């Protein structure tokens, strides 16, 4: 056994899915199911979520019985983004909002690790399929779009509202899926679109009525599980290489740095202050209202 293989097996053996706090990992009929498991927070991304997604992908990739990975969310939504109760509603000095002056290096280390964790779905040796119901917004849309394929319920919503204030999509998959003009249309506005609209735009593979979502994902997965794992791997590497040749890595590096800037710009500081004072739900409502002064407070210089 090679040294690298030994290291991989040692890493895998140290992972115990029963100890996961944000994700549920199970394997059945050659399919690894990774389920975001914070339903009381609409599966908002907590401090443990990125690492547990990464560890789940590692387990699936090292399990010879797994052919395909399916990512989904428990409860009423796939994922509502980063948990702003934890990260925006607190005083500065918590995850994602440093006390000023801002240290870009500290911020980059944290957010780059999240990006890498989500991108483990893209880099996975096994095909990854994301099943979206309810919402896949903000960081939740990042996670979904890192998968090889996304199937949504017709009435589900996807989008990146933090592009209005307090966020820049760090995996930056939007432009690679829909091209520059449609990516700009989505990220200049932060609008949410339905599963049907996302399918028509080419952002996701397919949308179906919500009561048909499980069947649609199962049907696609069953077409893959009988293909040899090496064949699935070969096809994925060719396609991923084509996308990566377009500068995916350097785009993500820039986006991860700029994401930190959005949270520490004058507007980002004001948004976080409003979230701390009035609660993140009110701050988000005001941010997304279309009135640029509504959420920024009386001392805004906007």
Q: How does pLDDT run across 119-177, given as a tens digit for each residue?
A: 999 999 999 999 999 999 999 999 999 999 999 999 999 999 999 998 999 999 999 99
Tokens in use for 279?
Answer: 């609660």
**How far apart, in whole angstroms, are the C-alpha atoms of residue 114 and residue 50?**
6
Residue 297 pLDDT exceeds 90: no
Span of 143-152, 197-206, 286-295 with lowest mean pLDDT:
286-295
Span of 23-27, 94-98, 204-208, 295-299 with lowest mean pLDDT:
295-299
Q: What is the pLDDT of residue 96?
A: 61
Q: Which domains does the chain have, with CATH numbers?
A: 3-264 (3.90.226.10)
- Reported as a single tens digit per residue, the pLDDT across 182-193 is 999 999 999 999
At how many degrees (to 10) do helices 280-287 and 266-278 cross? Answer: 130
Residues in the chain: 302
Residue 274: enclosing H or E segment and its boundaries? Answer: helix 266-278
Q: Do 47 and 95 meet the contact criterion of CB atoms below 8 Å apart?
A: yes
Sign, Cα dihedral of 144, 239, 197, 211? negative
């Amino acid at each position: 056994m090679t040294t690298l293989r030994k290291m991989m097996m040692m890493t895998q053996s140290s992972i115990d899915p029963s100890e996961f706090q944000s994700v549920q990992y199970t394997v059945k009929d050659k399919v690894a199911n990774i389920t975001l498991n914070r339903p009381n927070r609409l599966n908002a991304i907590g401090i443990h979520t990125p690492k547990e997604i990464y560890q789940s992908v590692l387990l699936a990739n090292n399990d010879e019985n797994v052919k395909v990975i399916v990512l989904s969310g428990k409860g009423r939504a796939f994922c509502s983004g980063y948990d702003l109760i934890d990260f925006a509603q607190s005083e500065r000095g918590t995850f994602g909002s440093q006390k000023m002056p801002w240290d870009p290096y500290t911020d980059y280390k944290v957010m780059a690790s999240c990006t890498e964790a989500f991108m483990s779905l893209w880099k996975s040796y096994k095909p990854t399929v994301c099943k979206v119901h309810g919402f896949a917004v903000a960081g939740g849309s990042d996670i979904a779009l890192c998968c090889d394929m996304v199937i949504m319920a017709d009435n589900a919503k996807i989008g990146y509202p933090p592009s209005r204030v307090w966020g820049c999509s760090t995996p930056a998959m939007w432009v690679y899926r829909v091209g520059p003009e449609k990516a700009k249309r989505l990220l200049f506005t932060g609008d949410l679109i339905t599963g049907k609209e996302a399918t028509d735009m080419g952002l996701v593979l397919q949308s179906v009525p919500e009561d048909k979502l499980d069947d649609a994902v199962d049907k696609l997965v069953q077409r893959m599980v009988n293909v040899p794992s090496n064949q699935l791997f070969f096809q994925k590497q060719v396609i991923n290489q084509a996308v990566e040749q377009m500068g995916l890595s350097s785009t993500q590096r820039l986006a991860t740095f700029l994401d930190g800037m959005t949270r520490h710009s004058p507007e980002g500081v004001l948004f976080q202050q409003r979230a701390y004072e009035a609660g993140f739900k009110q701050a988000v409502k005001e941010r997304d209202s279309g009135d640029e002064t509504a959420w920024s407070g009386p001392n805004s210089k906007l």
